[in-house]
């Protein structure tokens, strides 16, 4: 995957995580359910909402990229067996959300190997 696509994935999932956290945090703190504390309810419901919507979006992005590279026969079989396909996509998206996010950050930070022509010329001499 290109560096641009990795950065897009990271930005989009982070924005959904943050917006879902804020929206569901405020909704959860309207009537506090956790120890009658608005702050605890805000963080608990915010975490559930933020991670939930971010997981769903991550699943959609990873699944669509996966199916774009497959043959028509594979896509037809996946469409016929859609309950199994949906379950596989959902569980892969949920279980790979945090590891894939960490992997993307590492790959964005990691410098790509650059070939310097002057060093190659020095080797030839």
pLDDT band of residue 125 (cuts 50, 70, 90) is low
**Does the pLDDT at position 122 exceed 70?**
no
**Does the pLDDT at position 79 exceed 90?**
yes
31-77: per-residue pLDDT in tens?
877 788 888 889 999 999 999 999 999 999 888 888 999 999 999 99
Tallying the residues shown for the chain, one arrives at: 125
Provide mean pLDDT across the span 5-31: 90
User: How confident is the model at residue 53, as a pLDDT?
Assistant: 92
**Does the pLDDT at position 107 exceed 90?**
no
Percent of all residues in the chain with a pLDDT value above 90, rounded to a whole number: 40
62, 96 in Cβ contact below 8 A?
A: yes
Q: At what angle do helices 82-95 and 38-68 cross, to 10 degrees?
A: 120
User: How confident is the model at residue 22, as a pLDDT?
Assistant: 94
- Token pair belonging to 74: 């594979």
The residue to which tokens 């605890």 are assigned: 40
**Does the pLDDT at position 115 exceed 60?**
no
User: How confident is the model at residue 71, as a pLDDT?
Assistant: 93
Provide mean pLDDT across the span 89-115: 82
75, 62 in Cβ contact below 8 A?
A: no
Provide mean pLDDT across the span 99-108: 88
């Amino acid at each position: 995957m290109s560096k641009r696509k990795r950065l897009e994935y990271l930005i989009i999932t982070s924005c959904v995580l943050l917006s879902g956290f804020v929206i569901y945090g405020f909704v959860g703190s309207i009537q506090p359910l956790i120890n009658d504390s608005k702050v605890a309810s805000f963080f608990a419901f915010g975490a559930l909402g933020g991670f939930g919507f971010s997981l769903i979006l991550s699943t959609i992005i990873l699944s669509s990229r996966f199916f774009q590279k497959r043959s028509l026969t594979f896509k037809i079989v996946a469409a016929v067996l859609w309950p199994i396909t949906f379950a596989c996509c959902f569980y892969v998206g949920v279980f790979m959300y945090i590891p894939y996010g960490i992997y993307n950050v590492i790959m964005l930070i990691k410098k790509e190997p650059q070939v310097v022509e002057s060093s190659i010329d020095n080797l030839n001499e």
